[in-house]
Amino acid sequence: TDPASNLSEVLGTELGSEPRPVAGTERLWALDIDPMAAAAAYRQRVVGPYRGILPDAVVAGIEEQLSGSCTVEIAAFDQFTGLLADPGDFDHIVFDTAPTGHTLRLLALPGAWTSYLDTTEGGVTCVGPLSGLTQQRARYREALTVLADPALATLVLVTRPDPG
Judged on CB neighbours under 10 Å (0-12, 13-18, 19+), 143 is buried
> For the domain 7-148, what is the CATH code?
3.40.50.300
Q: Which residue, 133, 118, 162, is CA-closest to 46?
A: 133
Contacts of residue 3, defined as CB under 8 A and 6 or more positions apart, other chains included, come to: 35, 98, 102
**Known catalytic membership, residue 91:** no
* Amino acid, res. 8: S
Task: Kindly tell me if the per-residue pLDDT of 93 is higher than 70.
Answer: yes
Predicted confidence at residue 128, as pLDDT, reads 58
Residue 155 — pLDDT band, cuts 50, 70, 90? confident
DSSP track, 71-113: HHHHHHHHHHHHHHH--TT-S-------SHHHHHHHHHHHHHH
User: In percent, how much of the chain has pLDDT > 70?
Assistant: 74
Residue 124's pLDDT is what? 53
CA–CA separation, 53 and 128 (whole Å): 16
Q: Residue 12: is its pLDDT beyond 80?
A: yes
Can you give the residue ranges of every domain in the chain? 7-148
Indicate which residue of 2, 32, 91, 118 is catalytic.
2
Q: Note the pLDDT tens digit of each residue in 15-69.
A: 888 888 998 888 888 888 888 888 888 888 888 988 999 999 988 888 888 888 7
Q: Inform me whether the pLDDT recorded for 115 exceeds 60.
A: yes
- Cα–Cα dist 162/164, whole Å: 5
User: What is residue 121's predicted lDDT score, i.e. its pLDDT?
Assistant: 61
**So what's the pLDDT on residue 52?**
93
> Per-residue pLDDT for 117 more than 70?
no
Q: Are 16 and 31 in contact (CB under 8 A)?
A: yes
Query: Which one-letter amino acid corresponds to residue 149?
Result: D
Q: Which residue has the higher pLDDT, 117 or 3?
A: 117
